[in-house]
A and B are shown apart, each in its own frame.
Chain A
Amino acid sequence: MMNKSTLITLCLLVFMGFFPLFVDSAWLAIGTTFLVFSVVALSQDIILGRAGVFHMGHAMFFGLGAYTTAILNVNFGLPILATLLPAVLIPMFFAFLLVAPIIHLRGDYLLVATIGFNIIFIQVLENDVFGLTGGPNGLFGIDVVKLFGYELSSQTHMYYMAFLLLGITLLIIRNLDRSKFGRAMFYIHKDEIAAQSMGINIRYFKLYAFILGAGIAGAAGSMFSIQYSAVSPEAFNVTQSIMFFTIVLVGGSASLPGILIGTFIMFVLPEMFREFETARYLVFGIAMILTMILRPRGIWPVRFGNIPSFLKKEVK
């Protein structure tokens, strides 16, 4: 029943689970960031890699989640745990509201429209709409999570909360893969017109993927704001969106290890090489071009032919 990639994923999860036991707090912070960004990258992958919707504004949904938690906690005094549900639902609501009218657009048009949403989002934050977002400085002083009287405030607590979030995300993706929705997305990605002729409602499933991805990104955003106990607009700008977009394609779309490797390369490596500050992005750009030339489908692409492997197995 267990195939190679499940085994690798499990090994990785066990390693990640014990990671906080033998590192100092600086590494723990990097580890937490890695987990949070992995979740965002995985949710971007549901939209871009699995449903094949060209989407380059994902930092917006990440930011919506983060700002929902921050605004509800700082401005309205709600406890953190009470903000979690809105932080998932509000990005989902906006994903539906904004994307439903344009989901039928051709790929590149959708790409630039989603960039547009992200830019509008940043302008809304920076102009301090209704006095809620704190303008260019953002909001700070977000509470710690309190659970049954305990304060989950240490770096290790943060790490395990993010770890839990990643676990839930992986579970959702696993269930998605085995469900009707996952199969529909697979065929849409494979051949949109054929899928349509088979009676798959493309708009519905693409929108479904979009809303699901936005919700997961929102949860990650909430975790992000808890980790830093502050939010500011530049963490959610188009550059970040491009990062998430690139992670999926450099890592390998629809491939779990690919996305995790992509996140590692895009977010953890730069943290480790802070001393090459100035030339860093030059090297980054060259690496992006070289990766695409040498491995156009990503570093660790998914291996399935015309029929996905989880369907083949049931036939055997």
Chain B
Amino acid sequence: MDIFLQQMVNGLTIGSLYALVALGYTMVYGVMRLINFAHGDLVAFSAFIGLSVYAQIFGESATSLGVIITVFALTALSVACVGVLLERLAYRPLRTAPRLSAVVSALGAGLVIQNSVMLIWGPNMKIFPSNLFPSTIWAVGGIVITFTQVMILGVSSVLMVGLYFFIHQTKIGTAIRAVAIDQDAAKLMGINVNRIIMIIFIIGSALGAVAGLFIGSYYRGITFDMGWMYGLNAFVAAIMGGIGNIPGAMLGGLLLGLFNAMITGYISTQWAETFTFVLLIAILVLRPTGILGETVAEKV
């Protein structure tokens, strides 16, 4: 039972990281119908940026709430800039092109980001500083919970709830939903579609940056090519929940995290990926548009 609860905690932690990354995929997909294959690499990039920001500005030993907030804010800001640049250079020129052209462009952008990281920070694994968060550990009835895990669970829940209300309650959120439904109609209603897409990329990249920093401080070792793995898992989470659907991405992320933790805890780590994709395919066979996806009639 202890193992079960421990894996539950671990699973929820990984799951909320997946969910944060999945939100970036699902928002871009919802508005542009584009699989943003570069998003995973952006997450890896943000872990490296965060590492540099922390080491360069504060040195390796500083630890306080102010430091944490500054590191997160600076990382999110710079990664959001990269995200906007990505959209401007690689995706905007292709908005009217065939859909798969934009996918190739996204794959190319992913290669560019991944290899830039390799050229800047080197091909070897970097160790993320352990003292960004206090190393407090709580033991509750046989389960170990670290401060980092609590931070991950807390911050990502706040961000997810915040995003949900932002999308559903504010004026910009309404505009985003309008653009997602019909870009031309939204344009006719006076919505600046380019600006909305920019906002989408800012939010998605910033959430990815937070996830990247958390991944760095949770797993400690970061490599230039780790983005592909997290990206793919998060993308699978988004698909499971029903891509384009924001609560779906959150649900998919948590579900996948829990599932992964249970598989690695009870069955094997060697076959973890296999189980992930078997689950995905099973869900798709039963519900072809994901768990929370709606069945939309194709437009003729």
Contacts and interface: CB of A to CB of B under 8 A. Distances in A.
B31 to A, nearest CB: 14
B94 A285 contact: no
A193 B102 CA distance: 23
Contacts of B2: none
A296 B90 CA distance: 12
Contact of B111 (A113, A282, A296): A282
A279 interface: yes
A123 interface: yes
Nearest to B90: A289
Contacts of A123: 270-271, 273-274
Interface string B82-118: 0000000110011001111111110111111011101
Given A289-B108, A289-B109, A111 B285 contact: no
Contact of B35 (A102, A108, A117): A108
Contacts of A278: 118-119
A292 B102 contact: yes
Given A113-B280, A119-B277, A120-B274, A289 B112 contact: yes
Contacts of A282: 111-112, 115-116, 119
B232 interface: yes
B236 A249 contact: no
Given A120-B273, A127-B271, A105 B284 contact: yes
B119 A288 contact: no
A289 B116 CA distance: 15
Given A123-B270, A246-B104, A293 B93 contact: yes
A127 B268 CA distance: 11
A127 B284 contact: no
A119 B111 contact: no
A292 B98 CA distance: 10
Contacts of A193: 298, 300
A120 B278 contact: yes
A101 interface: yes
Contact of B280 (A116, A288, A291, A296): A116
Given A104-B288, A106-B288, A123-B271, A288 B118 contact: no
A119 B273 contact: yes
Nearest to B41: A285
Contacts of A281: 111, 114-115
A108 B106 CA distance: 14
A210 interface: no
A126 B277 CA distance: 16
Contacts, number: 120
A101 B289 CA distance: 14
A289 B105 contact: yes
A102 B281 contact: yes
A54 interface: yes
B101 A296 contact: yes
A251 to B, nearest CB: 11
Contacts of A291: 104
Contacts of A297: 97-98, 101
Given A108-B243, A123-B274, A289-B89, A113 B284 contact: yes
Contacts of A249: 100-101, 103-104
A242 interface: yes
A273 B110 CA distance: 21
A120 B35 CA distance: 21
Interface of A: 48, 54, 101-102, 104-109, 111-113, 115-117, 119-120, 123-124, 126-127, 193, 242, 245-246, 249-250, 253, 278-279, 281-282, 284-289, 291-293, 296-297
Given A119-B274, A246-B107, A284-B108, 9 more contacts: A109-B243, A112-B236, A116-B276, A120-B277, A123-B273, A285-B110, A286-B108, A289-B89, A292-B102
Pairs A-B, 4 closest by C-beta atoms: A288-B108, A285-B111, A116-B277, A296-B97
